Amino acid sequence: MTETPEKVAGVEVGQRRISIPGFTEEGENLAAETNSAADHSHGGLGKPKEVTAGAGSRANRHTGFDLAHFPEPTGREEEWRFTPLKKLAGVLSDTPTQGAGTDQEAVNYQVSGTVEGVEVSSLGHGDAPRGDVLQPADRAAVVGYRNAERALHLKVTQNTEVAEPIRVDITGRAAGARANGHIVIEAEPHSRAVVVLEHRGSADFNGNVEVKVGDGATVSLISLQRWEDDAVHVGQHDAEVGKDATYKHVAVTLGGSTVRLNTNFRYAAEGATAQMYGLYFADAGQHIEHRTFVDHNSPRNSSDVLYKGALQGATARSVWVGDVLIRKEAEGTDSYEKNQNLVLTDGARADSVPNLEIETGLIEGAGHASSTGRFDDNHLFYLMSRGIPEDIARQLVVRGFLNEIVQKIEVPSIRESLADDLERELRISGH
């Protein structure tokens, strides 16, 4: 598998650090070029729908809480063009599923036992800090916001260091029943915590998550999508990262028929480190979509985005759209984003679209990369000619490929269970 360095307006941006000749104070908006030219589609069948709206700078994308500003998508919008909208009818509708009870009942929440220094409560509409960090950026997020009556509020108080991960188990009770959820995580200054959201069962789940990372705090949010095959999940996970704070968001998507997660970061001040990691395994019939957006809206912060996915099965589908915006005021930014896909069988399709917009030349670094490799008969023959049976050869390749993300998860029990999950995934299509 080889990296494909991208050239945008003659500037090589595929490397860890770029140097842009003659590029100093003024900056340059590369959005137009990246949006039109850098459509990194690799491998597989089908054609993305044409873009008719929404293209352009990420800075101009509308956000807000008013549903009227977000009409039902047609599938031609930039942010919806890869998504199978038919599957999302439930989560895009502003009314609950008939006969499925209220939105709260379709999903069961279980928060792990009481921990000293962690306050668990719920927030109604208008209760601060609900809505402070979340900036709904599409219709699903607004629908979710409006229809989630109570939001789960987890607060890690100042200077508290939580040793064990705080777990929230989110379990869907019925396929096709719409559920809207909202979780507000507040890490006060200099606190330290790992939060695990584990999604299981069946539902049409629309889940917003907002995370306020206080100054000097260290927070990891691990979102596991282990849905049943008939589940639908859309969600927007927003974070505002405070001064000198460290935030890590890990999305692991294995289950569900359609999963679309938008993960967005922005910064409150300077000196913060923010990481977005993702791991996904798409089988036949699955659509797994991750959209990441790092908004470098203030100076001297760093970000690192890495999503890796494997695809197996004739109709397996994955989408990664990674936006990084380095605003004019974000001098001293250091950012990098990368997506890698491994296509295991014919007919699977991985779309990978990195978009990098740089409005100032006074940065430490900015880069993006995307590659999609195939595990083909030659790889298989090579490994088998060394005595390795076919099923083990496939496991070896997939595990090895995804291990880079697995290692970023600091909870040992999750790392171990992922190894089992991947083994199961590989067995699904009969290999």
**Contact indicator for 29, 61 with CB cutoff of 8 Å:** no
Residue of the chain from 31, 398, 405, 414 that contacts other proteins (CB under 8 A): 398
Question: What's the number of CA atoms in the CB half-sphere (13 Å) around residue 164?
Answer: 12
Of the candidates 318, 258, 266, 327, the one whose C-alpha atom is nearest the C-alpha of residue 293 is: 266
Rounded Cα–Cα distance for residues 423 and 375 (Å):
16
Residue of the chain from 187, 375, 418, 422 that contacts other proteins (CB under 8 A): 375
Which one of 75-83, 257-265, 289-297, 371-379 is the stretch in contact with other proteins (CB under 8 A)?
371-379
Of 224 and 402, CB closest to other proteins: 402
Question: H or E segment at 403?
Answer: helix 390-406
Residue of the chain from 12, 39, 94, 390 that contacts other proteins (CB under 8 A): 390
Of the candidates 404, 352, 341, the one whose C-alpha atom is nearest the C-alpha of residue 374 is: 341
**Contact indicator for 133, 212 with CB cutoff of 8 Å:** yes
Exposure letters 33-43 (e unless 16+ CB within 10 A, then b): bbbeebebbbb
Of 330 and 393, CB closest to other proteins: 393
- Note whether 1 binds other proteins by CB under 8 A: yes
- Note whether 430 binds other proteins by CB under 8 A: no
Residue of the chain from 209, 245, 274, 342 that contacts other proteins (CB under 8 A): 342
- Note whether 397 binds other proteins by CB under 8 A: yes
User: Which segments of 72-217 are extended strands (E)?
Assistant: 107-111, 118-123, 151-156, 166-187, 192-213
- Note whether 53 binds other proteins by CB under 8 A: no
Of 388 and 419, CB closest to other proteins: 388
- Note whether 392 binds other proteins by CB under 8 A: yes
- Note whether 406 binds other proteins by CB under 8 A: no
- Note whether 431 binds other proteins by CB under 8 A: no
According to DSSP H, which parts of 60-183 are helical?
89-92, 139-147
- Note whether 388 binds other proteins by CB under 8 A: yes
- Note whether 400 binds other proteins by CB under 8 A: yes
Residue 389, Cβ density class (10 Å: 0-12 exposed, 13-18 middle, ≥19 buried): exposed
Taking the complex as a whole, how short is the minimal distance between the CB of residue 319 and other proteins, in angstroms?
21
- Residues near other proteins, by CB under 8 A: 1, 342, 373, 375, 377-379, 381-390, 392, 396-403
